Amino acid sequence: MKHISLLLMCLLFLSNVFAQNQRDTTYTDQRQGFEREHFVFQGRKAWLIKPSKVLEGKHWVWRAHFPEWHTEVDSILLSEGFHIVYLNTNDMFGSNAAMQIWDAFYEYLVRQRGFSPIVALEGVSRGGLYVYQWAKRNPLKVSCIYAEAPVCDIKSWPGGKGKGKGSPQDWNKLLTEYQFSEVDALGFLDNSMDNLQGLAACKIPILHSVSLKDSIVPYLENTFPLVQRYINLGGPATIMPMTKGKQTLEGHHFPIENPERIAQFIKFHTLQKGSPLPPSDFHVLRSDFQHSFLKFKNEKKGVVAFMGGSITESDGWRNKVCQYLKEKFPETAFEFVNAGIASTGSTPGAFRLSSEVLAKGKIDLLFEEAAVNDRTNGFDSLAQIRGMEGIVRQAKRSNPKMDIVLMYFVDPEKLIDYQHGVIPSEIQNHERVAEHYQVNSIHLAKEVFERIKNKEFTWADDFKDLHPSPFGQEVYFQSIKTFLNNAFNPVPKNDVNTAYTLPNILNDGSYDKGRYLSIKNAEIKSDFISVDSWKPKDGAGTRKQYVNIPALIGEKPDAAFQLEFTGNTIGICVASGPDAGIISYSIDGKPFKKLDLFTSWSENLHLPWYLMLGQSLNEKKHILRVRILSEKNQKSKGNACRILHFLVNNGG
């Protein structure tokens, strides 16, 4: 009995301690005549001040650092129905780690507390580091930025490497937080004033209040260079010098003139934003990313591949996804494979996947896009299914746990389809594959259409082209980031080692064993030559991945070769340039067929063009015979046939 009584007393004591801790961390008080709710988020103190009457949409201002400083604007906005919110990430100096906490706090307020997905940011002094770093990562979630004497360059403060005094103690704290050496910090290229293109493209209004006498955070080293860069990028910016009243701390502390004007700036730009459509409405999450999450988190390494056309190859959303992953998993050594090649869709992808992606190592996460070029290049529905199934099936065979996401980028034709209530056929075909293999998909074309319809932006002024503007790149990235955040949650505890079984193949002719076959295998009959490194000399454009590589070249009529191959498919990848000719070909002695190698892009470009010559063949050895005809396309300058790869479907 004594032991039981003692146990009950201990439990009662612990219960009282827990209750006291709860009272210490979760409570309400009054500030500025409004109720303030204190709570703890991920072990950090946070609070929010509630207006007496909440403005429709539950709008809010997020204060970074020194939330008790200059509350005049807060009071005005509270009376207008805004919430004021603060999370204590002090002494993290806007680091990547701080941004992860900010992301999580934003999701908590929006998803669990019903706050608007659009927030106004307010940063005082070093708070400038936080608001700009978060805004640059999330420009479509920001209505505007208001900053007072903001730090915009760590070299100025706390570094003190310019005219400002700096803070040696805070400089050392920053170096520790960022895991920087002195050299690293001085060469840092992502200060608040750097990389503002996305923010400016989204036309996020910024307003800075500064003192012309500030020697702690000199405006000439912080606000002025940021604003100048921002305006040069097309971003709207205003500076309000504060010159009245007593200024202290060497000009860093100053009275705020006309707080009503600042409050009106925040209110106007917040209410002007409207309510955006959630990106998750356009995501199909068929399976979570348990494997890749645990691989990145526990093994501290990961291989992520991006495959698609020029929109994938070019800098933009892909770079931002890489940055996002490195920040979300800061201890992970990533290898990123950029297998984007302009003009290529699912059929080229199925044949180049093996050598250009899977050969790079065991892929953990694959992003694939082919909807734009599958349409632009005129591949029919059967080819689209065969190509995409070939990619997914090869990927899953190489690593059954590979996480895959298919993305459907936008082009004007897709917008027209959606306008008429039609799902683009290429998306329907790719979705057939995605559903069959239970891989995930992001309907970016549909999202762009619906958000234009929702009057969030326009095609002509904002997105501009199928190759997205900087604004369009932000739309793509923010949607992909939302998808990844959802796919990585809830956080799995361990990797389930269940065996993955490939479902039955959708189409027997799919390129699930597609690969390149070297041009060295050709048997030249007449006037073809094999060169080890081909590069055109006519000044026409090229794709960088398709020059300085071996090529089988014939430029005269009646030039001929034959090829022995094994498999159910044979094709050629040619450089279709200004002098592309017409060939005839025969498989296994059957009648010859004619094929024009010239394309609508060939006049100025040696386009890598993938052409299928034989499909659904028997799985055995075959002989392909090819010769160049004397006739040519009326727009062509010659009769050339330049083969860079043979395409076979036999798994090697």
| 532 three-class SS | strand
DSSP alpha helices (H): ranges in 493-570? none
How do residues 126-155 score in pLDDT, each as one tens digit?
Answer: 999 999 999 999 999 999 999 999 999 999
Q: What is the pLDDT of residue 499?
A: 60
Residue 43 scores a pLDDT above 70: yes
Q: What is the pLDDT of residue 492?
A: 63
Contact 39, 47 (CB under 8 A): yes
Residue 299 scores a pLDDT above 80: yes
What the block records as the tokens of 46 is 């946070």
Range with lowest mean pLDDT among 64-68, 117-121, 423-427, 600-604: 64-68
Which letter does DSSP use for residue 333 in this model? E
Per-residue burial over 465-492, b = 16 or more CB atoms within 10 Å of its CB, e = otherwise = ebbbebbbbbbbbbbbbbbbebbbeeee
Mean pLDDT of the chain: 94
Contact 608, 543 (CB under 8 A): yes
Cα separation, 548 vs 423, in Å, equals 40
Overall CATH class of domain 29-273? alpha beta
How do residues 63-106 score in pLDDT, each as one tens digit?
Answer: 998 998 889 999 999 999 999 999 999 989 999 999 999 999 99
CATH 3.40.50.1820 in the chain, residues? 29-273
In CATH, the architecture of 514-649 is Sandwich (2.60)
Backbone angles phi, psi at 300, to 5 degrees: 60, 35
24: pLDDT confidence band, cut at 50, 70 and 90?
Answer: low
Residue 410 scores a pLDDT above 90: yes
| Tally of CB atoms within 10 A around 550 | 16
Question: How deeply is 414 buried, as exposed, middle or buried, from its count of CB atoms within 10 A (0-12, 13-18, 19+)?
Answer: buried
Q: What is the pLDDT of residue 496?
A: 56
Nearest partner of 256 among 269, 239, 243, judged by Cα = 243
Contact 643, 519 (CB under 8 A): yes
Cα separation, 245 vs 644, in Å, equals 74
What the block records as the tokens of 232 is 């040069």
How do residues 374-390 score in pLDDT, each as one tens digit?
Answer: 999 989 999 999 999 99
How do residues 601-650 score in pLDDT, each as one tens digit?
Answer: 999 999 999 999 999 999 999 999 999 999 999 999 999 999 999 999 99
Nearest partner of 301 among 329, 339, 337, judged by Cα = 329
How do residues 428-475 score in pLDDT, each as one tens digit?
Answer: 999 999 999 999 999 999 999 999 999 999 999 999 999 999 999 999
565: pLDDT confidence band, cut at 50, 70 and 90?
Answer: very high
Q: What is the pLDDT of residue 205?
A: 98
Q: What is the pLDDT of residue 8?
A: 45
Contact 141, 172 (CB under 8 A): no
CATH 2.60.120.260 in the chain, residues? 514-649
**Whole-prediction pTM value?**
0.92
Cα separation, 631 vs 596, in Å, equals 10
Q: Tell which wins on pLDDT, 146 or 17.
A: 146
Q: What is the pLDDT of residue 159?
A: 97
Q: What is the pLDDT of residue 199?
A: 98
Contact 159, 182 (CB under 8 A): no
CATH 3.40.50.1110 in the chain, residues? 279-487
What the block records as the tokens of 582 is 């017409």
Please give the span between the terminal C-alpha atoms of the chain, in angstroms, as a whole number.
Answer: 76
Length of the chain: 652
| % the chain with pLDDT above 70 | 95
Q: What is the pLDDT of residue 311?
A: 97
How do residues 588-598 score in pLDDT, each as one tens digit?
Answer: 999 999 999 99
- Given 3.40.1360.10, 3.40.50.1110, 3.30.1280.10, 2.60.120.10, which CATH number is that of 279-487? 3.40.50.1110
Residue 32 scores a pLDDT above 50: yes
Per-residue burial over 174-201, b = 16 or more CB atoms within 10 Å of its CB, e = otherwise = bbebbebeeeebeebeebbbbbbbbbbb
Cα separation, 118 vs 143, in Å, equals 6
Which letter does DSSP use for residue 546 in this model? G
Q: What is the pLDDT of residue 490?
A: 72
Instruction: Please give the average per-residue pLDDT across 386-409, as a whole number.
Output: 97
Q: What is the pLDDT of residue 491?
A: 66
What the block records as the tokens of 210 is 């500064």
Which amino acid is it at 387?
G
Q: What is the pLDDT of residue 174?
A: 97
Residue 15 scores a pLDDT above 60: no
Contact 295, 331 (CB under 8 A): no
What the block records as the tokens of 378 is 């005129």
